[in-house]
Copies of this chain bind each other. A is one copy, B any other.
Amino acid sequence: MELVPGNTLITATPQEGRELALAMARKSVGAIQPDAEMRQAFRPGYAGSADSLTMAAQVVAIEFATIAAANGYWR
């Protein structure tokens, strides 16, 4: 199963880095839970509670921290 789309942490822009962070979080969940309904966390349209969304946003923030460091913060 592909866990890191493109198999690299390097992206051209912060926007692409953020998209990668979202994708990687989603792939983690997919690696653990193959059932599509459960897997909707992190997917566009996921209708979790506000707290569920905050928790998901936190994972994205943590993934992004790694990606940003990998890219020298796109400075």
Contacts and interface: CB of A to CB of B under 8 A. Distances in A.
State the majority secondary structure of interface residues on A.
helix
A47 B56 contact: no
Interface of A: 2-4, 7-10, 13-15, 17-19, 22, 24-25, 27-29, 31-35, 38-66, 68-70, 73-75
A4 B17 CA distance: 9
Contact of A41 (B7, B54, B61): B54
B9 A74 contact: yes
10 contacts: A3-B14, A3-B15, A7-B13, A7-B15, A10-B75, A29-B56, A48-B51, A57-B59, A61-B66, A70-B73
B10 A15 contact: no
